[in-house]
Amino acid sequence: MTPPDFTPDRWFPRDYATARSGFLKAVADAGGTVEAYVHPARGPAGEELATDVALLGSPDARNVLVLVSGTHGVEGLAGSGLQVAQLQSGLRPPPGSDLAILLVHVLNPYGAAFKRRVNEDSIDLNRNFAPFPATQPNADYDALHPLLTMQPGGLARVRRALAFGSFVAKRGIRALQGAVTKGQYTHPTGLFFGGSAPSWSRGTWDRILAGLAGKAKVVVVDYHTGLGPRGSGQLISQWGAPFGSGVSGARSAVLADCFGRDVVVDPDANSVSAHLSGDLLTYTAKSGEHLLPVGLEFGTYPMLKVLNAMIDENWAHHAKDPGIEVYRKRLVEVFSPDDAAWKRAVFDRANAVSQAAMRGLLR
């Protein structure tokens, strides 16, 4: 039961160290256990970096709800807030039920610690789940790459705005979003770079999935921010249209039990996300019929504002600009707005999705 004085916005951190300490305390208070997957790098103050995996309920439970934060590093600050706020509001498996909850706290801890969306190798983790060597060309991104890696401000921003406007006029805003965000494997200093080999975080996810082998039903909810109307939370599947191709009858039934028709949306139709290459959801779905992954995407700011913040931070990182903290601070804001109303809205949505998933898993 949610405490009467509960205010979710107080649990949303602005840095990784605060996020991790708050998460570990909340799990301890809830009576959970934690396994830490320690990253080989250290944080900006020399602190340990880790993906912490907390278990609530019996390790022998046949059904599991998995809540994942920080696939995109800096987005993990909001994702951590959602996980901790739900713990503080009473998120637990029903007593005596055949259900456990697994909280994967910041899958990309390097990105969260350094306030980057990408990892230690500038890899977008949600494009790193491709088969390697990756053979997925993206000619539209190749053409836009010079504009996406220009120095911030002044003439560069004007040129980029004009180029984007021309692209949208000819092909539409969805085509621009697809070209930029689909994923690319040829420009290591560019945006949405999927890498040339599996990353540490991908290996960590493999270890987490291995621990879920033999379960009956596992619903994975991967938290993301930055797309869609402000404060909204859209359930997305990258591995098949709602109850359509790519979704087996058994999976379709579980999704219906959990989410009804609120469920998953087709990325080629009415999703706030474009179709992606090498994404975690598709990879997870292919890893076992018992796994049912969905993304939960929370809107923050208009798409071009978010994209420009990403472009500027990426340029500053590769240029080793001394003023990079300005760009990092802006990146935190576009992915985790410091706004109590936004935090309340996304908490309410995340909590409703978690409760629906638990009810469905127990049907």
Mean pLDDT by 10 residues, the chain (363 residues): 75 97 98 98 97 98 98 98 97 97 98 98 97 91 93 83 89 89 96 97 98 97 96 80 53 86 64 86 94 96 93 96 96 97 97 97 94
pLDDT at 239: 52
Q: What is the DSSP string of 16-36?
A: HHHHHHHHHHHHHHTT-EEEE
Going by their DSSP bridges, the two strands 291-299 and 217-230 should be labelled as parallel
Which residues, 6+ apart, have CB-to-CB distance to 81 below 8 Å? 8, 11, 12, 13, 19, 336, 343, 347
110 in helix, strand or coil? helix
pLDDT at 241: 43
pLDDT at 243: 37
Kindly list the structural domains of the chain, giving each domain's residue range(s) and its CATH number in brackets, ordered by start: 8-130+197-300+322-361 (3.40.630.10)
pLDDT at 336: 98
pLDDT at 358: 98
Q: Report how far residue 223's alpha carbon sits from residue 83's, in angstroms, rounded to the nearest whole number.
A: 10
pLDDT at 266: 59
pLDDT at 238: 59
pLDDT at 265: 58
Classify burial at 34, counting beta carbons within 10 Å of its beta carbon; exposed 0-12, middle 13-18, buried 19 or more. Answer: middle
